[in-house]
């Protein structure tokens, strides 16, 4: 196994490390590729293949009987060989994870590294080593190692397919921990350990069953050893069955997968944090401390629209960050972005979600325009027609409301394309919007402060606009 | 060399390389492909990934058949050995492509038979090159490493033709790269044979 490590480290560097480092410096985001796409497909098939190779060694060399008469029992010698292989594989895996986590720790501004995915990955390496070793021992041959490796790869891919087929038991798939955690896990709400615990139980159960099963044959050791092996085999099978039962009761919630029998109610508490705020815009703009690096861009994105509406009735008095993602319905295996800025509370507060499309992944100008557009749409909706809202289009609002909405969009530099059914050039509403937008900022603000309530109730006609 | 002797020599060579086991595994892979194609529907990543994993399995099995159980003695005395190695590799390649094509017949193979031909050929080339470098018994590590790189990048916008499995079936650059790797693998295994690790 040791001479396979350079290949595995190279694969980890080219795929997982490279992709992780290209993502924003957030624990939940940086560890995504490590959990999902790469680390296990890199390590598990090779670990299983090499373990099968080591397990079939005596059989391939026709030395099984020779080894059987040594001082140690056959079971002991097999477990020793398995342990040697597994320790090398684990060392490689953990070393790669340590490098990834170490570099990330130096870049993130808040939070702690999620350790449950590492525990699941390490247990998976141990389990696949055990399964490969068992296959090699049972079917010693030249083709066993490659077939064990390919079968492992197949298991990982099939788990992914099962997730797409909405199976509850697909939660046991090793990539499901990513599918059912979000970039907000650990930032806004706790990383739920329920599913990782069930996965570790399953993988540990498989490993225990196979390794203990090696001690069951008559020539494996003494009577006591074989009885112990039988008990351990049953324990492993019980762990596998229990994990399947537990996952069968799982519920996918907004914060992740909840397994009632494993769930700790303390995990439901939102994560406490002190927001970081900027006061350079018309109203305070606050973000989660993990997103501290993006505060200047977010403030710059919101400043134009906030300067237009600050102090108006119904306009937000502060900006705060909200969770960006929510898990979809049970079994669908995908995340849905909340994707909606909202204005709630008294005094009104604008909550903005920041997804993973942050500077570094998209250009700063794209990021700025996305944030500005989302905030402008919801603010205008709150100002001119809370019941229908600009978010749903302007078809059901008065022409005057359409004109004011279009004018503010134009002033803050957001394309009218973002506004469904916006006034078209040549129409009276469009001309009024142009006229209103060309007024000095103070005049616009003054007029809005005086007439916004009447405008909101549809009591102002297009001709009455300045 | 008479026809009878030639036949006997070929038969013994194939037996020493466990070609029959390899053929059995190829058929098993084709059955797995058929089941997978029945199971997966639509155009998701699984419809790309599962056939690739199975093609890698086929190539890994072919790589193992390059291992010589006789080593030095066979290499020195076997005058026809390069031809036998070439014939074995080509025959197993043809068999694998034929059997996989049969396995995917009347089912929706996302990249089509052309894509399967390209990907399998490329995988076999990698397997044979790995066998020439590190030995037939570990030839499977090459296709597996390539698979580990290819599968996660299937949904990414990587455009290098060397990741031919990520490219559309009619991509000429990808086909050329896969063909180059296959020819290099066949050439290496014909001329040099698989490396004989001393400890096996």
Facing A41 at nearest CB: one of B18, B57, B151: B151
Residue A297 CA to residue A280 CA, distance in Å, equals: 12
Please count the other Cβ atoms lying within 10 Å of the Cβ belonging to residue A395: 9
Answer yes or no: is pLDDT of B56 > 50.
yes
Task: Note whether A45 contacts B145, CB cutoff 8 Å.
Answer: no
Residue A108 CA to residue A293 CA, distance in Å, equals: 9
The token duo for A121 is 């990955």
Q: B109 in a domain, yes or no?
A: yes
Last-in-domain residue among A214, A229, A264: A264
Residue A407 CA to residue B143 CA, distance in Å, equals: 60
Same domain, A114 and A227: yes
What string of pLDDT tens digits covers the 466 residues of chain A? 677 888 888 888 888 888 888 888 888 788 776 666 556 777 889 999 999 999 998 888 888 778 777 788 889 999 999 999 999 999 999 999 999 999 999 998 888 888 888 899 899 999 999 999 999 999 998 899 999 999 999 988 888 777 777 677 877 777 665 556 667 778 888 888 898 899 999 999 999 999 999 999 888 888 899 999 999 999 999 999 999 999 999 887 777 788 999 988 888 888 889 999 999 888 899 999 988 888 998 999 999 999 888 888 888 899 998 887 654 444 444 444 455 778 888 888 888 887 656 656 677 778 888 888 888 888 888 887 655 444 555 667 788 888 888 898 888 888 777 677 778 888 888 888 888 889 998 899 889 888 888 888 878 888 888 8
In contact, A384 and A348? CB cutoff 8 Å: no
Nearest-CA residue of chain A relative to B23?
Answer: A143
H helix count then E strand count, chain A: 17, 9
Same domain, A185 and A300: no
CA atoms within 13 A on the CB side of A22: 10
Q: A342 in a domain, yes or no?
A: yes
The token duo for A323 is 């969770």
Nearest-CA residue of chain A relative to B17?
Answer: A142
Task: Note whether B137 contacts A145, CB cutoff 8 Å.
Answer: yes
Task: Note whether B32 contacts A154, CB cutoff 8 Å.
Answer: yes
Note the pLDDT of residue B94.
95
Same domain, A178 and A311: no
Task: Note whether B148 contacts A11, CB cutoff 8 Å.
Answer: yes
Residue B151 CA to residue B132 CA, distance in Å, equals: 25
Chain B nearest CA to A117, separation (Å): 18
Same domain, A289 and A438: yes
B46 to chain A, any CB pair closer than 8 A? The answer is yes
Q: B196 in a domain, yes or no?
A: no
Note the pLDDT of residue B184.
96
In contact, A204 and A86? CB cutoff 8 Å: no
Q: B197 in a domain, yes or no?
A: no
Chain A nearest CA to B114, separation (Å): 23
Same domain, A356 and A248: no
Note the pLDDT of residue A322.
84
Tens of pLDDT along B109-134? Answer: 777 888 899 999 999 999 999 999 99
**Which residues of chain B have a CB within 8 Å of the CB of A7?**
141, 145
Q: B143 in a domain, yes or no?
A: yes
Same domain, A243 and A283: no
Chain B nearest CA to A192, separation (Å): 26
What are the phi and psi torsion angles at A325 (to 5°)? -125, 155
**Which residues of chain B have a CB within 8 Å of the CB of A38?**
148, 152
Domain that holds residue B134: 3-191
Q: B115 in a domain, yes or no?
A: yes
pTM: 0.84
Q: A154 in a domain, yes or no?
A: yes
Q: A152 in a domain, yes or no?
A: yes
Q: B199 in a domain, yes or no?
A: no
Same domain, A73 and A172: yes
Note the pLDDT of residue B4.
85
Facing B53 at nearest CB: one of A53, A142, A150: A150
Last-in-domain residue among A229, A264, A299: A264
A15 to chain B, any CB pair closer than 8 A? The answer is yes
Nearest-CA residue of chain A relative to B36?
Answer: A158
Nearest-CA residue of chain A relative to B18?
Answer: A142
Same domain, A12 and A46: yes
Task: Note whether B61 contacts A15, CB cutoff 8 Å.
Answer: no
Chain A nearest CA to B3, separation (Å): 31
* Strand bridging mode A285-287 / A276-278: antiparallel
Facing A49 at nearest CB: one of B22, B140, B149: B140
Q: B169 in a domain, yes or no?
A: yes
B18 to chain A, any CB pair closer than 8 A? The answer is yes
Please give the sequence-ordered ranges of beta strands (E in DSSP) within A221-362, or none if there are none: 251-253, 256-258, 276-278, 285-287, 318-322, 325-327, 335-337, 342-344, 349-353
Note the pLDDT of residue A242.
96
Q: A269 in a domain, yes or no?
A: no
Q: A211 in a domain, yes or no?
A: yes
Chain A nearest CA to B117, separation (Å): 19
Q: How many domains does chain A have?
A: 2
Residue A411 CA to residue A309 CA, distance in Å, equals: 11
Last-in-domain residue among A242, A264, A286: A264
Chain A nearest CA to B2, separation (Å): 32
A4 to chain B, any CB pair closer than 8 A? The answer is yes
Q: How many domains does chain B have?
A: 1
Task: Note whether A153 contacts B53, CB cutoff 8 Å.
Answer: yes
In contact, B139 and B63? CB cutoff 8 Å: yes
What are the phi and psi torsion angles at A178 (to 5°)? -80, -40
Please tell me what DSSP assigns to residue B68.
-
Q: How many CB pairs under 8 A join A and B?
A: 93
Interface of A with B in 141-160 (CB under 8 A): 141-143, 145-147, 149-150, 153-154, 157-158, 160
A333 to chain B, any CB pair closer than 8 A? The answer is no
Same domain, A320 and A446: yes
Task: Note whether B152 contacts A164, CB cutoff 8 Å.
Answer: no
Domain that holds residue A350: 276-464
Answer yes or no: is pLDDT of B80 > 60.
yes
Q: B198 in a domain, yes or no?
A: no
Same domain, A256 and A280: no
Same domain, A163 and A54: yes
∠ CA A254-A38-A56 to the nearest 5 degrees? 120
Task: Note whether A150 contacts B57, CB cutoff 8 Å.
Answer: yes
Chain A nearest CA to B152, separation (Å): 6
Same domain, A119 and A232: yes
Tens of pLDDT along B25-50? Answer: 999 999 998 888 887 766 567 778 88
């Amino acid at each position: 196994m040791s001479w396979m490590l350079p290949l595995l480290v190279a694969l980890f560097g080219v795929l997982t490390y490279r992709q992780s480092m290209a993502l924003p410096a957030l624990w939940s985001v940086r560890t995504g590729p490590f959990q999902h796409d790469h680390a296990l497909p890199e390590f598990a098939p090779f670990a299983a293949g090499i373990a099968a190779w080591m397990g079939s060694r005596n059989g391939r060399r026709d030395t099984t009987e020779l080894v059987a008469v040594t001082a140690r029992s056959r079971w002991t010698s097999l477990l020793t060989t398995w342990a040697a292989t597994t320790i090398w594989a684990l060392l490689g895996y953990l070393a790669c994870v340590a490098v990834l986590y170490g570099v990330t720790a130096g870049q993130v501004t808040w939070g702690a590294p999620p350790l449950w995915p590492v525990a699941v990955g390490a247990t998976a390496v141990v389990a696949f080593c055990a399964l490969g070793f068992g296959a090699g021992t049972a079917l010693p041959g030249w083709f066993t190692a490659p077939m064990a490796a390919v079968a492992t790869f197949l298991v990982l891919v099939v788990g992914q397919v099962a997730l797409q087929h909405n199976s509850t038991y697909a939660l046991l798939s090793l990539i499901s921990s990513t599918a059912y955690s979000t970039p907000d896990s650990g930032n806004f709400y706790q990383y739920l350990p329920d599913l990782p615990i069930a996965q570790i139980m399953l993988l540990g159960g498989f490993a225990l069953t196979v390794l203990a099963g090696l001690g069951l044959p008559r020539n494996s050791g003494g009577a006591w050893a074989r009885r112990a092996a039988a008990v351990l085999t049953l324990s492993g099978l019980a762990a596998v069955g229990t994990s399947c039962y537990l996952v069968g009761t799982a519920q996918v919630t907004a914060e992740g997968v909840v397994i009632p029998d494993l769930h700790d109610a303390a995990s439901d508490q939102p994560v406490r944090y002190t927001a970081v705020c900027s006061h350079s815009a018309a109203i305070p703009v606050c973000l989660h401390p993990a997103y501290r690096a993006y505060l200047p861009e977010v403030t710059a994105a919101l400043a134009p629209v906030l300067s237009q509406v600050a102090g108006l009735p119904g306009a937000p008095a502060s900006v705060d960050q909200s969770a960006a993602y929510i898990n979809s319905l049970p079994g669908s295996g995908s995340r849905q972005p909340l994707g909606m800025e909202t204005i709630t509370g008294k005094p009104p507060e604008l909550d903005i979600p920041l997804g993973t499309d942050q500077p570094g992944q998209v250009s700063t100008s794209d990021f700025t325009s996305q944030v500005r557009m989302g905030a402008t749409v919801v603010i205008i909706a709150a100002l001119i027609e809370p019941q229908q809202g600009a978010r749903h289009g302007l078809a059901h609002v008065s022409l005057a409301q359409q004109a004011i909405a279009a004018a503010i969009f134009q002033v803050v530099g957001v394309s009218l394309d973002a506004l469904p059914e916006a006034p078209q050039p040549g129409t009276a509403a469009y001309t009024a919007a142009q006229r209103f937008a060309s007024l000095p900022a103070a005049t616009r603000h003054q007029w809005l402060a005086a007439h916004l309530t009447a405008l909101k109730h549809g009591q102002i006609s297009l001709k009455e606009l300045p | 060399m008479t026809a009878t002797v030639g036949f006997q020599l070929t038969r013994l060579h194939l037996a020493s390389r466990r070609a029959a086991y390899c053929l059995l595994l190829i058929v098993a892979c084709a059955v797995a492909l058929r089941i997978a194609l029945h199971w997966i529907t639509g155009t998701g990543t699984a419809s790309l990934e599962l056939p690739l994993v199975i093609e890698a399995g086929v190539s890994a099995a072919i790589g193992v058949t390059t291992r010589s159980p006789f080593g030095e003695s066979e290499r020195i005395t076997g005058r026809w050995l390069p031809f036998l190695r070439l014939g074995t590799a080509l025959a197993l390649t043809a068999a694998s492509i034929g059997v996989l094509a049969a396995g995917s017949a009347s089912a929706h193979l996302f990249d089509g038979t052309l894509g399967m031909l390209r990907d399998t050929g490329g995988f076999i080339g990698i397997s044979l090159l790995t066998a020439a470098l590190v030995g037939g018994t570990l030839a499977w590590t090459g296709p597996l490493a390539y698979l580990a790189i290819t599968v996660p990048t299937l949904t990414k916008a990587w455009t290098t033709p060397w990741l031919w499995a990520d490219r559309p079936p009619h991509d000429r650059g990808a086909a050329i790269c896969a063909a180059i790797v296959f020819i290099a693998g066949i050439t290496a295994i014909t001329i040099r044979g698989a490396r004989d690790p001393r400890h096996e």
